[in-house]
Chain A
Amino acid sequence: MNVVTNNKWIGQRTIRPDGMDKVTGRAQFAADTTMPGMIWGKVLRSPHPHARIKSIDTSKAEKLPGVKAVVTSKDIFDFTIEKGAVMLGIQDMRWMCRNVMARDKALFPGHPIAAVAATTEAIAEEACKLIEVDYEVLPWSIEIEDAIKPDAPILHEFNKFEGKPSNIAGRLEHKKGDIEEGFKKADVVIERTFTTRPVHQGYIEPHACLISVAPDNKTTIWSSSQGQFMVRAMTSMLTGIPQSDIRAIPAEIGGGFGGKTIVYLEPLATMLAKKSGRPVKMVMTREEVMRATGPTSGSKSTVKIGATKDGKIVAAHGTFYLQAGAFPGSPIRGAAGCSFTPYDIPNLLSEGYDVVSNRSKVAAYRAPGAPIGAYAVECVLDEVAEALKMDPLDFRLKNAAKEGTKAAHGPVFPRIGYIETIEAAKNSDHYQAPLGDGHGKLRGRGVASGFWFNAGGESSAQVNITEDGNVVVTTGHPDIGGSRAGIANICAELLGIDYSRVSVIIGDTQTIGFSNLTGGSRVLFASSMVVTQSTEKIIQTLRERAAKIWEIDPEAVKWEQGAAHPVSPNAGQFEPLTLKELAEKAPAMGGPIGAGVQLNTVGADGGFGTHVCDVEIDVDLGIVRVTRYTAVQDVGRAIHPGYVEGQLQGGVAQGIGWALNEEYIYTKEGKVDNPGFLDYRMPVCSDLPMLDCIMVEIPNPKHPQGVKGVGEVPLVPVMAAVANAIYNALGKRFYALPMSPPKVLEVLDAPTQQAAE
């Protein structure tokens, strides 16, 4: 075991290994890749929210000059409903096969019906128009309220809830104590209902892939995803090509936030490539991204919290209805499992309901479900604190989960840093500073906390020493936000060499061991474990090589500052042997130096954050501006502080968008009416202030460098923090997101209307 005494690289703001490529435009994202002989694939999508597909006639399209292949659901493997779930991670392939290509029924506008490959994009598009589909249009429902009505059109007849066909696809609950008894003890009880709209992950890079299939089925996939192994497995299952024949190469990925954890294009492009014998490239338009991928759920939640006069929460009840989109699988686990978890509540019932309706299937989005639950819970907490005349942070402190608290979803917490985040927020310049004069605008301040499970799971690494004595680290997780920099910091630190001598690459499925998705706040947690163990094996080899050269015992050799040294003068007097020298001697001294490790990592535990938000409201226009924001988070150990802050700031910006502007708007015909960046309004640079971060570092005792996942927690508290700040400014509370200008005006105008009535 190599003990690191003083850190040279861990905790440094090093320049990321892939950075130069990205600032010069060289980096290869999926849509940047081409191949000789390549043709283009396009998808024909359903115009209807709900329709039975009676027939599809592709003959005219096939005859169009330039068209090389057409595929429909017949070409995609059918996981029949009756045979039961076929799970890959959290995805049921029965839904996945129907989501990539409609089978029997189109379930949302944008649902793929057929795909065409042709020599140009224009011809492929033209051919899509020549495909004749006979639809029987069915009644549909988009919103939760409509989908759970007794007479609602049923999406999946086989799905039963309480014995009847239903659009409720599942229910889960977390329970602790007895809520009836608990509420009896409460002096203050507040119950509220909240709704949120679906929001899109909003990655700037649309989904894209390039796929080549040789006549012997050997398949190469270049694609943008959060996991090349997921791409390989799903493509294999949906096309029937064995995994060993598929090489999935991770292109650089232009954002994902959970939205690129499933496949959309890859199985279609694979079948088009197989049928046509040509490499096929597919790139979604932004409109396709908005209509047919992601988003996360819209929701309806009811939260009831009871507390005693002295500020102790005695009971809580949450009911969270989440939209799944066209197929079961909304993130009810995140909503029901995370939102009360920051608190030690003796009597708790947290229920989640998964509701299908005629919109695109939801995909993971940063701490899936947790921000939705936290919005409701943290707003009610604010009201309870106010009723008790307590400072909202003091109220949270008084009820905070800590080491030994049993969370309703199961675990008993080890040493966690939640209390430290509240204290840091309380002591921050931000929380201490007066709100100041708004010059005619109303100002307010709000706080909120959040929790996310964090994940460990499978990870593989290979560390090789080059002949010139440098290091190449290969891991299996796409680098979505700078993880290569963190890995290089750790490897350079352990080996005691300069950072610039470590190169980090992301292996493809056929060159590195299985590694699970980039998601769940797991990548640096998991990959640094396997990189650490691989590096330790290498250090052991290096010590053995030096011992052999010096003809002493390996135990008498220590590794320090990039070189082997005798442990003490007693071991013998030798000049240190550097990594470079040992690498050069390698051919004569036992051969190549390298080591790999594969692990199913555990010990990720959970992550906590507490946020402080200031807003300024223009009451004439209804515009809310966030003027100051501080995100405090227990990050375990910041291996690369710059990219940890980046995760915090990025999550906060997404949350501000979700709170204030972002939403899917539907037409009367059941179609998304704002499928572009002009009308789906994500925050732009001028909408935001600087976003301050306070990183609390309580090292994770179960991780060699103390790492805790950081990517997801930052989004969890934001909507509640903004809503609480707006309440603080206006004295009026919003029970629906987004709090966009027309809705703010509606609430502001409400009392005048009442007076006039």
Chain B
Amino acid sequence: MAKVHVTTTINGEPMEFLCEPSDTMLDALRGSLNLTGSKEGCASGDCGACSITLDDQLVCSCLMLAVESEGHEIRTIEGMANGDKLHPLQQKFLEMAALQCGICTSGMLVASDALLKRNPNPSEEEVRFWLAGNLCRCTGYDKIVRAVMDTAAEMRAQ
């Protein structure tokens, strides 16, 4: 089958790629775009390891077709730090040991960032419900929730 040509913006950069019509956004990112920060844990929208944003909306890239990114703006974990300056969430995850194996970390960070953009002052419950789509099998979520809350407090103070 003929491949489809897609023009999109990824992490602020204009991008073009070719894909099969049936390819998911995750396939495209990890494949031809070589952005492997987004992970595949389930391919069914249940683990959140592939979380990205599409025009600032948090989505599972495994549930989105690559062609759907045409003309839209995609953000992935690779675009989270600003040059060599980490995003405050990334910094806090490191300081507070909010990762163990690290396979869920990209998705957790992207999802947490999307939350703080919508709600800079989330309660613990709001953080927990927002991140309920991101599985972590290592941490018991404790340190992740704490890191998100602490980052939010710090960002509000600035």
Contact = CB atoms under 8 A, between A and B. Distances in A.
Interface in A672-724: 676-678, 682, 684-688, 690-691
A506 B92 CA distance: 25
Nearest to A482: B100
Given A206-B40, A482-B100, A685 B143 contact: no
Interface string B33-58: 00111111111101101000000000
Contacts of A677: 41-42, 44, 46-47, 135
Contacts, number: 180
A685 B40 contact: no
Nearest to B79: A25
**Which of B102, B128, B146 has most A Cβ within 10 Å?**
B102
B137 A203 contact: yes
A223 to B, nearest CB: 14
**Which of B30, B37, B134, B142 has most A Cβ within 10 Å?**
B142
A15 B90 CA distance: 12
B78 A646 contact: no
B101 A685 contact: no
Nearest to B36: A32
Interface residues of A, number: 57
**Which of A23, A653, A686 has most B Cβ within 10 Å?**
A23
The SS class assigned to the A binding surface is loop
Interface string B76-99: 111011000010001001111101
Contact of B77 (A25, A29, A206): A25
B66 interface: no
Contacts of A653: 137, 139-141
A286 interface: yes
The SS class assigned to the B binding surface is loop
A31 B145 contact: no
B37 A25 contact: yes
Interface string A10-43: 0001011011101111111101100000000000
Contacts of A745: none
Contact of A650 (B38, B94, B140): B140
Contacts of A253: 101
A27 B46 CA distance: 22
A481 to B, nearest CB: 4
A184 to B, nearest CB: 45
Contacts of A26: 37
Contact of A255 (B30, B93, B103, B132): B103
B78 A676 contact: no
B4 to A, nearest CB: 16
Nearest to A20: B94
Contacts of A18: 102
Contact of B97 (A24, A255, A642): A642
Interface string A61-90: 000000000000000000000000000000
B104 interface: yes
B67 interface: no
A255 B94 contact: no
B144 interface: yes
Interface residues of B, number: 56
A691 B105 contact: no
Contact of A646 (B30, B80, B143): B143
Contact of B140 (A16, A28, A203, A652): A652
A650 B138 contact: yes
A458 interface: no
B131 interface: yes
B138 A646 contact: yes
A286 B41 contact: yes
Contact of B102 (A252, A257, A285): A252
Contacts of B120: none
Contact of B30 (A32, A480, A652): A32
B97 A203 contact: no
B152 interface: no
A327 interface: no
Nearest to A657: B137
Nearest to B22: A122
B37 to A, nearest CB: 2
B39 A685 contact: no
A508 interface: no
B136 interface: yes
**Which of B37, B96, B109 has most A Cβ within 10 Å?**
B37
Contact of B142 (A27, A256, A690): A690
Nearest to A714: B140
B99 A19 contact: yes
Interface string A648-665: 011111100000000000
Given A255-B137, A685-B131, A481 B100 contact: yes
B97 A22 contact: no
Contacts of B140: 646, 649-653, 688, 691
A686 B43 contact: no
Contact of A481 (B90, B109, B138): B138
A314 B63 CA distance: 59
B106 interface: yes
Contact of A29 (B39, B78, B128, B143): B39
A27 B133 CA distance: 22
B101 A686 contact: no
B41 A22 contact: no
A645 interface: yes
Interface of A: 13, 15-16, 18-20, 22-29, 31-32, 201-206, 252-257, 283, 285-286, 480-482, 640, 642-643, 645-647, 649-654, 676-678, 682, 684-688, 690-691
13 contacts: A19-B94, A25-B76, A204-B41, A205-B101, A254-B39, A256-B101, A285-B43, A640-B97, A646-B138, A676-B46, A677-B42, A677-B46, A682-B137
Given A25-B35, A647-B100, 4 more contacts: A23-B86, A24-B78, A255-B138, A286-B42
| For the complex of A and B, 9 pairs with smallest distance between CB atoms | A25-B37, A254-B103, A642-B97, A653-B140, A649-B140, A22-B102, A677-B46, A25-B77, A32-B36
